[in-house]
Amino acid sequence: MASISTNDFKNGMTVELSDGLFQIQEFQHVKPGKGGAFVRSTLRNVRTGAVIDRTFRAGEKMESAYIEKREKQYLYRDGTDFAVMDSETFEQRSVSVEAMGEAANYIVEGQPIVFLMYGDEIIGTDLPASVELEVTDTEPGIQGDRVSGARKPATLETGLVVQVPLFVNIGDRIKVDTRSGEYQTRA
């Protein structure tokens, strides 16, 4: 593990503190007129998702956590868990819904997923900005119902329900934003 100081902080960097593993969301170096400089930071616990504010002395040292990105292929759902296969070693592994996080709403069988790994522990997923999914259930659009901006709920192949325009029908493929979970366009 590499030791870093608060002078090396960057947004998105992951550090190991006594409380656990944290990702730096935001930081600010402060040099008051009186006293020593310090760094105000907003940190997100990568295991629990909790966000905390922490102040460090300028130049304070801590351990940097090495986060590796590994691509795995989603094979099938096994009860509540997901069966995935490593793309390099072909080793299969069962991953819990908690470890998958929001990615569980956007993946279909056979799709590659990039996992963020800390050693052998999965701490998150790296999703693309948008994904294409098929609409499996929605109400049909009614002739003459042409209100601008009107929406209706649609269930996608992963079970996710999103609001779509009235012209979207069952069997259509749509693009969904993975950051907000909103409909973008027809694919």
Other CB atoms within 10 Å distance of the CB of residue 32: 8
Nearest alpha carbon to residue 17 among 69, 51, 68, 65: 65
Task: Name the pLDDT band for 143 (thresholds 50, 70, 90).
Answer: low
- pLDDT tens track for 76-96: 888 888 899 988 888 898 888
What is the model's pLDDT at position 66?
A: 87
Q: What whole-number percentage of the chain has pLDDT above 90?
A: 17
Smallest Cα–Cα separation from 66: which of 87, 89, 46?
46
Assign 103 a pLDDT band (cuts: 50, 70, 90).
confident
Is domain 2-64 in CATH 2.30.30.30, yes or no? Answer: yes
Residue with tokens 């793309």: 87
How far, CA to CA in Å, does 162 sit from each of 91, 156, 180?
34, 8, 10
pLDDT for the residue 162? 92
Are both 2-64 and 68-126 of the same fold?
A: no
The fold adopted by the segment(s) 68-126 is: OB fold (Dihydrolipoamide Acetyltransferase, E2P) (2.40.50)
Domain 130-186 in this protein, CATH class: mainly beta
Q: Is the pLDDT of residue 133 over 70?
A: yes
Q: Are 3 and 17 in contact (CB under 8 A)?
A: no
Q: Is residue 26 over pLDDT 80?
A: yes
At 28-70, the pLDDT tens digits run 998 988 888 999 999 998 888 889 999 999 888 988 888 888 8
Amino acid 108: pLDDT: 87
Residue 45, number of CB atoms within 10 A of its CB: 16
Please tell me the distance from the alpha carbon of residue 102 to that of residue 160, in angstroms, as a whole number.
11
Comparing C-alpha atoms, which of 88, 87, 110, 125 is closest to residue 158?
110
User: Per DSSP, what are the bridge partners of residue 173?
Assistant: 134
- Which conformational region is residue 29 in: left (phi greater than 0), alpha (psi within -120 to 50 degrees), or beta? beta
Over 70: is that where the pLDDT of 148 sits?
no
- For the chain, give every domain's residue range: 2-64, 68-126, 130-186
pLDDT band at 12 (very low <50, low <70, confident <90, very high): confident
Residue 117, pLDDT > 90, answer: no
Would you say 133 and 176 are in contact if contact means Cβ atoms under 8 Å apart? yes
